[in-house]
Amino acid sequence: MRFLIPFAGMLVVVTAPVRSQQAADAASPFDRTVTLTLEGVPLKDALDAVARQTGVRIAYSGRVVPLDRPVSVQLAAVRVEAALDTLLLGTGVASTLDRTGQILLVTEQPARRAAEQSGSISGTVTDSITGAPVADAVVTVVGTAFTAKTGADGRFTITGVPAGSYRIRVRMLGYTAAAASVVVQDSEQAVADVHLARSAIELNPVVAIGYGAADRRNLTGAVSSVTAEQFETKAAPTVTLTAGLQGKVAGVQVTSNSGMPGAGIQVRVRGTGSITANTEPLYVIDGLPAEQGSNDTDPKNNPLMSLDPNEIQSIDILKDASATAIYGARGANGVVLVTTKRGQEGVSQFTVESSVGFQDIAKTIPVLNAPQFMQLSNEAYLNAGGAPAGVPFSAAQMASAVTYNYPAMMLRTGLQTNQGVSLSGGDQKLRYLISGNFTRQQGIELGSDFNRYGVRVNLDGEASSRFRWGTSLSMTRVARNAARVENGSLGNSANGIQAAMQFAPFQAPKDSAGNWIKTSPSTEPVPNPIANALEETDLNTTSRLLGSVFGELALTPSLKLKGTLGGNFQFDGIHFFAPRTILDGGGSGRGWLYTSQGRNLTSENTLAYARPVGPGTLDLLGGFSVQTWYAENVQATAAGFPTDFTNVYNLGSGSQLNPPSSGISEHALISYLGRANYNVADKYLFTLTGRRDGSSVFGANHKWGFFPSGAFAWRLGDEPFMRRQSLFNDLKLRLSYGTVGNQAVDPYQSLSQLSVGWVASGTTEIPAMTLGSRMPNPDLHWEQKTEFNAGLDGALLDNRVAFSVDVYRSKTRDLLLLMNVPVTTGYTQQLQNVGSIQNNGVELSLTTNNISRPNLNWRSTLTLSHNGNKVLDLGTRPDTSGKAVPITQFTVTPRTGNFFDAGDVYLVRVGEPLGAIYGYQVTGLWQKGDTGAACYLTNKPACTPGEYKVADLNGDGKITAADRTILGNSQPKFYGGVSNTLTYGRFSLDALFNFVYGNKVINAGNAYGCLDIMQANERTCVLNHWDSTHTNTMVPRPNRDRARSLYSTFVEDGSYLRLQTLTLGYDLPAGMLFGGAASARVYVTGQNLFTITGYSGFDPDVNSQGGDPRYGLIDIGAYPRSRVWNFGVRATF
């Protein structure tokens, strides 16, 4: 935690004098604020709502004001004057103040309605600090129906305005509304230029909530958001949007599998709520559910891979049960709602963004040179009991040895580029956004790169005043060359940089004839990493089509019917070929082809109703949804090719043909959903949500489930008793409770499964159907999570500080676990609903506007999260007498290749969190004169001086598997991020730090790197090994016969503080614009510039095992993380 102290100053709040209550009371009634959400209500009711909420007096005559006129508005924290202008728009009525402070509604002057005498209003809207034009700002002529939007150059024109005196008002998200007076004369153009000042903190943006949107001030659930500006030019191009969430959202933990371009990302919303089922959130893109579906973090399965960060308008994360219950059986892991940008009315805008950059390794780990390797190999041989005459290397060999630096040969400076264009615009009838993008990232390891091509088309239109429609379509192709450099996806012990660090440093990559050396000439058969990277083909491709279309019909002003159809189509392919020239080729080449295709179709229909009821406003939503999934795959492998020339494109020419395999899978989900929101006086907010899901995945007795929730919010800041204080500008309390589900298991788990095999019949074989090993379960159903959430949102110090605090407690029961069954059943296992797990946590989001001056602004944001995870129950099993006894723990073994001896590495135990690391506790090294009986491990003598001294925890006088203990846990005590945005004139500086504290990582690379076995090359840390003259160390003596068990010395602190991104940008002035551009911005970005950590591997943010919740964080020679520099320009025409 000490490393966070220097950065605490970034959150210093520069306070300003707070206006007194007397000053507030003396302000004009026009300056008070009001929030309204009304649909088709009489104007009289709307005026009464304004008066009731603000305490102002409004006087009018029924002969002047059309009180029965229906109005529909959605206003959030606007001035009373602006609210009245909107309500009275087009009525010929204006508001004014009398000398007592009462608001009068009077008829406008006839000159302002004289259509026969008209002119126009034009002007330019610019940023008050930079002078840059502000596009898409809304310009309104107060008291009239005249309105316009600014174009890319910030200009606007309003024609046909009757002669007279007016005030125009300009509004834009992120800026404080501004006004100007103007006089319009007949047949003349009045000019009004307006400068907008950037607002302090945006307190009431509109956020997506699932099947709709809401003002943040009206939310009753826990929802966090990331906006478009937080993605645009804030970082080097990211392959997946999930990587861009790291450190930005409280309660959302993002972990990278590795530093490979396009590597998988693990996302956890409020902890891990399952042991074997999917723990990834549900992704919804423009209203279309596109869940990942499993814990496999392969990038091809991530639906966000189809999106370019510059396409994003906002990402809203639903976290508590109240917010996620609308998604029922898929809401247990949270919901990520992605909204892409859409076309706006006005002049067409053409935007170009181009960036180029380079990346190199952020941290290097030195390895032994040739003489050092030879010397320690000899010592390891002798210490293992070898005879002196048989040492591997002679003195002459060591003296003449040449060192080949394989890690340096394996690494390079990778180039990258990101290009994007978009065209948007339209009118009320049709609005459009068309964009295309291309991303190429060359990995820092040979043989690795990532390429993505994408096209997006978003259309919106209004066929009439009652019917609107829209469509979203994206097409993406991703190609990733892996060349076996990523150990986590393969479970191998030596590929890529890990193989380079283990390869014998005295061996040249090629022999004297120019042929590749296939394997390291050391005891451990390490493949030649350079040969693999340059000769092997390992191409993974994914093509995705993600699209939806909707239509919405207003049956009445209060009742709307909406229908949506969508589909997610995915085509995957793998081309793998190892030629005969490398170890993987097996002497005659080996090839593998895999192809799969899948489709996910969605049909949803909703009915929305909103109108005043009693003292408040009632919003109702009801819907019906059908979603189907279908997938098929086929693959073939062969070896023994006559030539490498044909690669994988003639598998039939191989002499060793394996039977091809194929598969098919399909399932469906039918749902009924509903939500009711009741807003009383804009202070008391009630929400009830429910969804009934029917899934084909589960047993015949439990096809359906119901998932309800309820929530309440109280806007304390609007209560009269809050007017007596001046600290808080806004304050809201939230409470919620609900139940959601997790249905993400493979289909057919509840059914009897048959497999086809061949059995002998005399001298021939005949096909036969055999039962699978798993017993069917007609009672199988989804996991259910219940959650309580309490939250407090507020703003203080004249809105210069905004905060949100949430406390939650959740319990997931009916966990999906494989249980052993009696062999008398004919099966060995059955998937059952047993056990439970809980997550408790606290989340904080804090935004401060530290400095706000005409040419200088500084804003900071802190996110801080703590989640406590605990296994509560693992079910029961029969003892020898048949009595059911509780299961208290079980162990699991990840794919560690030959890093460790066979054994269990992780423990799932009642009372402990998931990710508990299970191994042997090292208390030191044996020294001369030490005594003790517990000096044997896996039948190998281990009490010799210089060997690990392992704790005999059960006191039986020997070291066995019973002495293993929990060595730590992979779940952090807390995590979060600190971001700072500093603007000075046209310059801006953005810095994002993210941090993790209190977690443990298994550094499996040290099973070779510092274990001092010397069967392959190791890291220079072994030079600090024990010998008779150097005993004050924890590195054991060289010994090639040492047991490869999981020792506590391999478990390291994974805490870190990282400067994730640093971006310096400059908005070009008009005199520097080029090619007719209306605006342009240039920037330079650094990513992963430094990391403060005690972890000895390449990077502590690693998970070679992907997303399996049973495993914690383990580094199995993962691809190193790179340091990136990126240079770009963004221009709008």
pLDDT in tens, 1081-1097: 999 999 999 999 999 99
Between 1071 and 460, the more confident residue is 460
Better-scored residue on pLDDT, 31 or 872: 872
Mean pLDDT of 728-743: 92
Tokens of 121: 């209003």
Cα separation, 1054 vs 1073, whole angstroms: 47
Which residue in this structure is represented by tokens 């959430």? 789
* Mean pLDDT value across residues 121-140: 82
Structure letter (DSSP) for residue 96: E
Looking at 19-23, 84-88, 137-141, 260-264, which range is the least confident one? 19-23
| Integer angstrom CA distances of residue 82 from 79, 148, 173, 415 | 5, 16, 16, 52
Q: How confident is the model at residue 18 (pLDDT cuts 50, 70, 90)?
A: very low
Beta strands of 1022-1078 (E only): which ranges?
Answer: 1051-1053, 1056-1067
Provide φ and ψ at 68, rounded to 5°: -90, -5
| Amino acid 900: pLDDT | 66
Q: How confident is the model at residue 150 (pLDDT cuts 50, 70, 90)?
A: confident
> Which of these ranges, 123-137, 437-451, 793-807, has the smallest mean pLDDT?
123-137
User: What per-residue confidence (pLDDT) applies to 375?
Assistant: 93
Q: How far is CA 702 from CA 327, 694, 1037, in A?
A: 18, 9, 60
Alpha carbon 354 to its chain centroid, in Å, reads 24
pLDDT at 1094 (0 to 100)? 94
CATH number at residue 191: 2.60.40.1120
Query: Final residue of a domain: which of 147, 169, 198?
Result: 198
CB atoms within 10 A of CB 955: 9
Check if the beta carbon of residue 237 is closer than 8 Å to that of residue 416.
yes
490, pLDDT greater than 70? no
What average pLDDT does this structure show over 1023-1037?
A: 92
- pLDDT tens digits, residue range 971-982? 999 999 999 999
Is the pLDDT at 337 greater than 80? The verdict is yes
In the chain, the N- to C-terminal Cα span, in Å, equals 48
Q: Please check whether residue 533 lies inside any domain of the structure.
A: yes
- CA atoms of 245 and 280, how far apart (whole Å): 14
In a domain, 1087, yes or no: yes
Q: Which two tokens stand for residue 271?
A: 């902890």
d(CA 494, CA 486): 9
Axis-axis angle for helices 43-54, 80-87 (nearest 10): 170
What is the C-alpha to C-alpha distance for residues 592 and 590, in angstroms, rounded to an integer? 7
| Predicted TM-score of the model (pTM) | 0.81
Amino acid making up residue 953: L
The pLDDT assigned to 1102 comes to 86
User: Which has the closest alpha carbon to 108: 130, 139, 85?
Assistant: 85
Q: Which positions ≥6 away from 457 have C-beta within 8 Å?
A: 432, 433, 434, 471, 472, 473, 474
pLDDT at 169 over 60: yes
Q: CA–CA separation, 573 vs 478, rounded Å?
A: 10
More confident residue, 433 or 298: 433
Tell me, what's the pLDDT at 798?
A: 79
Inter-residue contact 971 to 927 (CB < 8 Å): no
Of 943 and 988, more confident: 988
Q: Is 428 exposed, middle or buried (0-12, 13-18, 19+ CB in 10 A)?
A: exposed
In a domain, residue 1133? The reply is: no
> Is residue 825, in this structure, part of any structural domain at all?
yes
Q: How confident is the model at residue 896 (pLDDT cuts 50, 70, 90)?
A: low
pLDDT computed for residue 494 by the predictor? 54
| Angle value at C-alpha 100, between 98 and 103, nearest 5 degrees | 45
Confidence of residue 1076 (pLDDT cuts 50, 70, 90): confident
3-state secondary structure 446-464: CCCEEEEEEEEEEEEEECC
**Please, what sign has the CA dihedral across residues 1105, 1111, 1113, 1117?**
negative
CB 993 within 8 A of CB 1059: yes
- pLDDT on residue 235: 43
What is the predicted pLDDT for the residue at 934? Answer: 66
CATH number for the domain including 1003? 2.40.170.20
Q: Is residue 455 part of a domain?
A: yes
pLDDT at 728 over 60: yes
- pLDDT of 351 above 80: yes
| pLDDT higher at 369 or 200 | 369
Is residue 512 very low, low, confident or very high in pLDDT (cuts 50, 70, 90)? very high
Is 759 inside any structural domain? no
> Number of structural domains, the chain?
2
Q: Given 171, 198, 225, which residue is the final one in a domain? A: 198
Lowest-confidence pick of 126-140, 423-437, 916-930: 126-140
Position 1032 scores a pLDDT of 93
- List, in sequence order, every beta strand (DSSP E) within 854-928: 856-873, 876-878, 884-886, 889-892, 906-909, 916-919, 922-925
Distance separating alpha carbons of residues 88 and 169, to the nearest angstrom:
15
Q: Is 778 exposed, middle or buried (0-12, 13-18, 19+ CB in 10 A)?
A: exposed
d(CA 970, CA 992) in angstroms, rounded, equals: 24
More confident residue, 754 or 1059: 1059
Of 483, 485, 487, 526, the residue nearest 504 (C-alpha): 526
What's the rounded mean pLDDT across residues 900-905?
66
Neighbouring C-beta atoms of residue 421, cutoff 10 Å: 15
Distance of CA 915 to the CA centre of its chain: 21
Tell me, what's the pLDDT at 699? 86
> Does residue 638 register a pLDDT over 80?
yes
Distances (CA, A) of 1109 to 377, 607, 741: 39, 38, 17
Nearest CA to 307 out of 459, 477, 454, 479 is that of 454
**Which residue do the tokens 């999917």 mark?**
278
> What string of DSSP letters covers 509-570?
SB-TTSPBP-B-SSSS--B-HHHHHHH-EEEEEEEEEEEEEEEEEEEETTEEEEEEEEEEEE
Burial (0-12, 13-18, 19+ Cβ within 10 Å), 266: buried
Average pLDDT over residues 599-620: 92
Does 229 reside within a domain? no
Asked if 952 contacts 959 with a C-beta cutoff of 8 angstroms, the reply is yes
DSSP per-residue string spanning 601-657? EEEEEEEEEEEEETTEEEEEEEEEEEEEEEEEEEEEEEE--S-STTTTTTGGG-SEE
Q: Stretch 638-664: mean pLDDT, rounded?
A: 90
CB 776 within 8 A of CB 751: yes
Q: What is residue 205's predicted lDDT score, i.e. its pLDDT?
A: 67
Least confident of 96-105, 244-253, 425-434: 96-105
Token code pair at residue 342: 């859409």
Going across the sheet that includes 916-919, the strands are 889-892, 906-909, 916-919, 965-969
Predicted local confidence at residue 1055, as pLDDT: 97
Q: Does residue 608 carry a pLDDT above 60?
A: yes
Range with lowest mean pLDDT among 233-242, 330-339, 342-351, 478-487: 233-242
For residue 615, give its domain range: 357-384+395-752+782-887+972-1127
In whole angstroms, what is the distance from residue 503 CA to residue 585 CA?
Answer: 18
**Residue-level pLDDT at 611:** 86
Query: pLDDT tens for residues 797-847?
Result: 878 899 999 999 999 999 988 888 888 888 888 889 999 999 999 999 999
Q: Can you tell me whether residue 325 is helix, strand or coil? A: helix
Which residue from 518, 538, 513, 540 is spatially nearest to 530, judged by alpha carbons? 518
Question: Are the C-beta atoms of 384 and 1039 separated by less than 8 Å?
Answer: yes
**Is 498 exposed, middle or buried (CB count within 10 Å of its CB: 0-12, 13-18, 19+)?**
buried
Tokens 């639906």 map to which residue? 303
- Report percent pLDDT > 90 for the chain: 43
Burial label, 757 (beta-carbon count in 10 A; 0-12, 13-18, 19+): exposed
pLDDT at position 143:
62
Q: Using CB atoms within 10 A of its CB, is residue 678 exposed (0-12), middle (13-18) or buried (19+)? A: middle
Q: Which of the four pLDDT bands, split at 50, 70 and 90, describes residue 996? A: very high
**pLDDT surpasses 90 at 740:** yes
Query: Could you give the CA distance from residue 842 to residue 825 in angstroms, rounded to a whole number?
Result: 46
Calculate the average pLDDT of the chain: 85
Is residue 671 in a domain?
Answer: yes
Q: How far is 612 from 405, CA to CA, in rounded Å?
A: 75
- For residue 73, give the nearest of 188, 217, 256, 215 by alpha carbon: 215
- In this prediction, residue 66 carries a pLDDT of 87
Per-residue confidence (pLDDT) for residue 489, from 0 to 100? 39
- Among 198, 217, 246, the domain-final residue is 198
Query: What is the mean pLDDT of the segment spanning 426-448?
Result: 92
